[in-house]
Amino acid sequence: MSSTIQSVFRQFSRNGKLSQQNLSRFIRRCSTVNSEENSFKTMIKRLESKGLPIVHHHGYVCDLPVNHQFPMKKFHGVMHHLKVDNVISMRQVLEPERINIKNAQTVHTVEYTEKFFTGHTSREEQKVTGFDWSEGLVSRVRYETGGTLLAARAALERGMACSTGGGTHHAFPSHGSGYCLLNDLAITAAVLLKEGAVQKVLIVDLDVHQGDGTAYIFRNDERVFTFSMHCEKNFPTRKQKSDLDVPLEDRMQDREYLDHLQTHLPKILNDFHPDLVLYDAGVDPHVDDELGRLSLTDKGLFDRDYYVIDTVVSKGCPIATVIGGGYSRDLKILSARHTIVHRAATKPWKVSFKGWT
């Protein structure tokens, strides 16, 4: 929410909520405010939506060459499984706007963003990202990054929110890497810090690969704590230094993995006191993941996600989740696996945010 609209919201709301009568007044007043990224329309939808906010856009997906290794269609698959299994209703779904270049430049260089947005990155630069440049790719990346930012904004307003995409943690300020073009987690943290919406952000990155881009971006920024638990011998070979790295051995199983998490997360929360947690719930630590090298089960991933969300929410801290990495040729199984975090979020939501059902 822009600061102007925030002040209008405060004028018409009581305890963070709008009555039906005040909602109409608020909408009329807001329509005179020129807000950034067309966020007015999105914000009204946010206020009208019910239940745990789920952020999704059809534009998270773009066309790729046949047999491309990246499972692009999984983003649609995630929404499909959430709907057919009745995990969510459409009333919960919020659609993001595409991130604008100004916000992308909160962490990326002007040169890189201008090249990426307009298709002037070199062949070599494209090669390390794993994608050939296309207009569709830029659009998809901008929607996905806008989705993480919207999930964070919704979490700040309502306590929790989950995107059906996001977690592009290998992107660095001046280049993309490992299927990541813009660093959605870093941009989200940087934009909210710049706006003054938060003072401190904790990024919990449990994707099986180290969040190297995020760690590098915030290496000298005390307002952001980067916590990465990852498989030591996995990509990237050259690791960066997070505020806390927990490298794990190959083939680690549920119990030992959860022990590590339970050792570190409560201490970080107690010492750092974040205003917001961004959680990368990558499913590539799964035993069947094609790039993972760890041995977590479906239940292990559920217990992990539930533990993170419940622990953060119990501290009264808002949390926004992204799906992170996950690799399988079986799109159906992979998409369903990515919905574990949304399923795990449902129970703490019901317990902690009854007023928003």
The binding site for Zn ion (CB under 5 A) comprises 207, 209, 282, 284, 325
> Which CB atom, from 278 or from 313, has the smaller least distance to Zn ion?
278
> Which CB atom, from 274 or from 325, has the smaller least distance to Zn ion?
325
- Nearest approach, Cβ of 282 to Zn ion (angstroms)? 5
> What residues are paired with 244 via a beta bridge?
227
DSSP 284-306: TTBTT-SS----B-HHHHHHHHH
> Which CB atom, from 43 or from 341, has the smaller least distance to Zn ion?
341
Nearest residue to Zn ion, by Cβ distance, number only: 325
- Nearest approach, Cβ of 206 to Zn ion (angstroms)? 10
- Nearest approach, Cβ of 209 to Zn ion (angstroms)? 4
- Nearest approach, Cβ of 293 to Zn ion (angstroms)? 11
Largest CA distance in the chain: 58
DSSP 142-189: HHHHHHHHHHHHHHHHHSEEEESS---TT-BTTB-BTTBSS-HHHHHH
d(CA 208, CA 211) in angstroms, rounded, equals 9
- Nearest approach, Cβ of 154 to Zn ion (angstroms)? 24
d(CA 315, CA 273) in angstroms, rounded, equals 9
Residue 186 main-chain phi, psi, to 5 deg: -70, -45
> Which CB atom, from 211 or from 318, has the smaller least distance to Zn ion?
211
Q: Which two tokens stand for residue 145?
A: 């990054």
> Which CB atom, from 47 or from 287, has the smaller least distance to Zn ion?
287
